[in-house]
Structure 1
Amino acid sequence: MSNGYCWDNAVAESFFKTLKSEQIYENKLVSKEQMRTDLFEFIEVWYNREHRHSTLGNLTIDQFNSKKQNLKKTA
């Protein structure tokens, strides 16, 4: 990883900010297993399928991947 490039971790930092503010801080203390389940649902259901990402042209991750696959099939 190069030093001095301020956007290196922008996407990862945005994800963790969203995770913390939407999921972690909103929940009361729960068991480790419940937190694992909640995090899975947050990432796989909401973040990948519903949350629109500005870095992907305001598409969800699933929409972006589908579009990418369709382009590969037509090429």
Structure 2
Amino acid sequence: MNALDMAIRARTPAPGGIVHADHGVQFTSWVFTQKIRSAGLLPSLGTVGDGLDNAMMESFWSSMQIELLNRKKWRTRIELANAIFEYIEVFYNRRRRHSALSYATPHEYDLAHTPQPISA
């Protein structure tokens, strides 16, 4: 829930955006789906065992496993949590190249496709 709250606050997604998740108990909980819907977003949950509906997230988890988690032993959960946050928010979203986005990072893509307020 904390990650979802942070993502919604940071990106202020337009209504109708899709939140990709799998059938894990945390993602199918009433609280999680209500939070998604109250933000005007849609949950993306395919059928159980259907790997193609969640391919983008599976690719992300694979990248994080290879690029971060397999490279070091973590001493504490807090150290690991901080490293994961840094990987996602600083490296993956802002600097890592994503071929599906014509080599724009998710952060760059959001900036380019988010209407900017008009100032007087």
TM-score, structure 2 length as denominator?
0.52
Question: How do 1:29-40 residues align onto structure 2 when only pairs under 5 Å count?
Answer: 29-40=74-85
* CA deviation map 1:1-26 (0-9, x unaligned): 14786531221011000111111110
Runs of 4+, deviation exceeding 4 Å: 2-6
Show structure 1 runs of 5+ residues with no match. Answer: none
TM-score, structure 1 length as denominator?
0.80
Q: Cα distance, 1:58 vs. partner?
A: 1.6
1:28 and 1:6 mapped to 2: Cα distance?
29
- For the residue of structure 1 that corresponds to 2:110, the secondary structure is helix
Q: How many residues align?
A: 71
Larger helix share, 1 or 2: 1
Please provide the CA RMSD for this pair. Answer: 1.9
Larger strand share, 1 or 2: 2
Show structure 2 runs of 5+ residues with no match. Answer: 1-45
